[in-house]
């Protein structure tokens, strides 16, 4: 039996962990120990995902919430090091590009424990993003790298990472989407409660630091989404970081309807029935495509470039008043059909490699 310690801490990681933990369990050859750093700790940013996606409760809770990047990553490392020494795992499994990812990878690499990175090779080529730093470092510390797309694999090859370490398995979020599709379809309560007509509303999410921490961009975003909301309902589940940033900047929404962060099933119910999605989230861009809903990415660049090439996604950096026009003109458009994220069995492929 092999022991794999999985380190997670932020919302998108819970969604990625769900299918992989299941697949690892099914192999019968891997004992997974789940460590939650506490990076996200509110009920609706954490617990709800464990409940809805049937993830076993974490074996270890590090309770490192808040603080700046240095303090947060540092205290995660401080708590992870003795734990990994005690558990002496065969590998440490990390996901995506958060501070929890980097902390897990750094501590493991220094203890000579092989690092496994799921969703490796993504690049925005914008080092002003904390996520870009986290993923670059993690990829170069990892011994086994699982990529979602051709582009991600090519990025790693260009950076000199050895071909044998890289396994292109597809995207685990696509696995989650398929796994929970039926349950999400049955979830109509929120649409009814919000009096939304399928295909007659826009779903928006905003949480990237480059948007929330820049008052000018935040103002342009609020203005753009308000303009859209003059035409049709806009629903915005408000990330805690964005809520704080709006208060700091003295900004608020009038027409846009903000709600608390949603559980995964409610979120998918809204995504799949929206007329368009406007987002700066990485995961939500992909999910828009899974449900074939046109997407506008509220950033200067995206890591998921294939969606722009296929015509399902377009960039609308929040400045110069282009947001509303981009969102309104995306409605009703369709891209080319393709399967850039694999067949929905990325988790099975990951488990096979790790058990082998
Ligand atoms: N999500 C959710 N509720 C929300 C907003 C997002 O369940 O209110 C889900 C979304 O469906 C996707 C994931 O969270 O699966 C994306 O996470 P996030 O946008 O926080 O991070 P990113 O993908 O940008 O790293």
Q: Whose CA is nearest to atom 13 of ligand 1?
A: 12
- Give me ligand 1 centre to Cα 241, in Å: 13
- The pLDDT, as a whole number, for residue 142 is 98
* Same domain, residue pair 200 and 139: no
Confidence at 185, pLDDT banded by 50, 70, 90: confident
Query: Which region among 104-113, 259-268, 313-322 has the lowest average model confidence (pLDDT)?
Result: 313-322
The residue to mutate among 16, 18, 284, having the most atoms of ligand 1 within 8 angstroms of its beta carbon, is 284
CA dist., res. 80 & res. 99, Å (int):
13
Confidence at 131, pLDDT banded by 50, 70, 90: very high
Per DSSP, helices labelled H in 88-180 are 99-110, 130-141, 150-158, 172-179
Higher pLDDT, 110 or 41: 110
Q: Is the pLDDT of residue 101 over 80?
A: yes
CA dist., res. 276 & res. 303, Å (int):
20
Ligand 1 within 6 A of 52 CB? no
- The pLDDT, as a whole number, for residue 321 is 78
Confidence at 66, pLDDT banded by 50, 70, 90: confident
Range of the domain at 308: 183-330
CA dist., res. 136 & res. 246, Å (int):
30
Q: What is the pLDDT of residues 232-258, one digit of tens each?
A: 999 999 999 999 999 999 999 999 999
Ligand 1 within 6 A of 285 CB? no
Q: Do the domain assignments include residue 291? A: yes
- Please tell me the total number of residues recorded for the chain in this structure: 356
* Same domain, residue pair 222 and 244: yes
* Same domain, residue pair 162 and 223: no
* Same domain, residue pair 134 and 200: no
Q: Do the domain assignments include residue 317? A: yes
CA dist., res. 57 & res. 79, Å (int):
19
Confidence at 188, pLDDT banded by 50, 70, 90: confident
pLDDT > 90: percent of the chain: 96
The catalytic residue positions are 207
* Same domain, residue pair 218 and 82: no
- Give me ligand 1 centre to Cα 320, in Å: 27
Count of structural domains within the chain: 2
pTM of the model: 0.97
Ligand 1 within 6 A of 172 CB? no
- The pLDDT, as a whole number, for residue 319 is 82
Stretch 206-214: mean pLDDT, rounded? 96
Ligand 1 within 6 A of 344 CB? no
* Same domain, residue pair 40 and 79: yes
Q: What is the pLDDT of residues 262-314, one digit of tens each?
A: 999 999 999 999 999 999 999 999 999 999 999 999 999 999 999 999 999 99
* Same domain, residue pair 208 and 80: no
Ligand 1 within 6 A of 274 CB? no
Provide long-range contacts, Cβ within 8 A and 24+ apart, for 328-332: 328/228, 328/231, 330/276, 330/294, 330/295, 330/296, 331/202, 331/275, 331/276, 331/294, 332/275, 332/294
Q: Is the pLDDT of residue 338 over 90?
A: yes
What's the CATH code of the domain at 287?
Answer: 3.40.50.2000
Q: Is the pLDDT of residue 87 over 80?
A: yes
* Same domain, residue pair 313 and 351: no
The mean of the pLDDT values for the chain is: 97
The residue to mutate among 12, 239, 278, 302, having the most atoms of ligand 1 within 8 angstroms of its beta carbon, is 12
């Amino acid at each position: 039996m092999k022991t794999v310690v999985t380190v997670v801490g932020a919302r998108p990681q819970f969604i990625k962990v769900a299918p992989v933990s299941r697949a690892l369990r099914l192999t019968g050859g891997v004992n997974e120990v789940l460590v939650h750093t506490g990076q996200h700790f509110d009920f609706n940013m954490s617990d709800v995902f464990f409940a809805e996606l049937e993830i076993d409760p974490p074996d270890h809770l590090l309770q490192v919430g808040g603080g700046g990047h240095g303090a947060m990553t540092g205290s995660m490392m401080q708590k992870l090091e003795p734990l990994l020494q005690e558990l002496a795992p065969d590998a440490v499994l990390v996901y995506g590009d958060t501070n929890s990812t980097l902390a897990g990878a750094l501590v493991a690499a220094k203890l000579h424990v092989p690092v496994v990175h799921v969703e490796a090779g993504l690049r925005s080529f914008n080092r002003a993003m904390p996520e870009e730093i986290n993923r670059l470092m993690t990829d170069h510390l990892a011994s086994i790298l699982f990529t979602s797309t051709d582009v991600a694999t090519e990025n790693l090859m260009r950076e000199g990472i050895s071909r044998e370490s890289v396994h292109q398995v597809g995207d685990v979020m696509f696995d989650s989407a398929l796994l929970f599709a039926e349950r999400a379809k049955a979830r109509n309560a929120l649409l009814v409660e919000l009096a939304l007509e399928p295909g007659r509303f826009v779903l928006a999410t905003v949480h990237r630091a480059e948007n929330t921490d820049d008052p000018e961009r935040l103002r342009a975003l609020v203005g753009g989404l308000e303009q859209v909301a003059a035409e049709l309902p806009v629903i915005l589940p408000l990330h805690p970081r964005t809520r704080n940033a709006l208060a700091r900047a003295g900004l608020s929404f009038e027409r846009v309807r903000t709600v608390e962060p949603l559980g995964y099933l409610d979120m998918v119910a809204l995504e799949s029935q929206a007329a368009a999605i406007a987002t700066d989230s990485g995961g939500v861009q992909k999910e828009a495509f899974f449900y074939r809903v046109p997407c506008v990415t509220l950033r200067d660049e995206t890591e998921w470039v294939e969606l722009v090439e296929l015509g399902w996604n377009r960039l609308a950096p929040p400045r110069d008043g282009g947001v509303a026009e981009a969102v309104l003109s995306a409605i009703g458009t369709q891209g080319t059909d393709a399967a850039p994220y694999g067949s929905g069995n990325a988790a099975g492929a990951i488990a096979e490699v790790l058990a082998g």
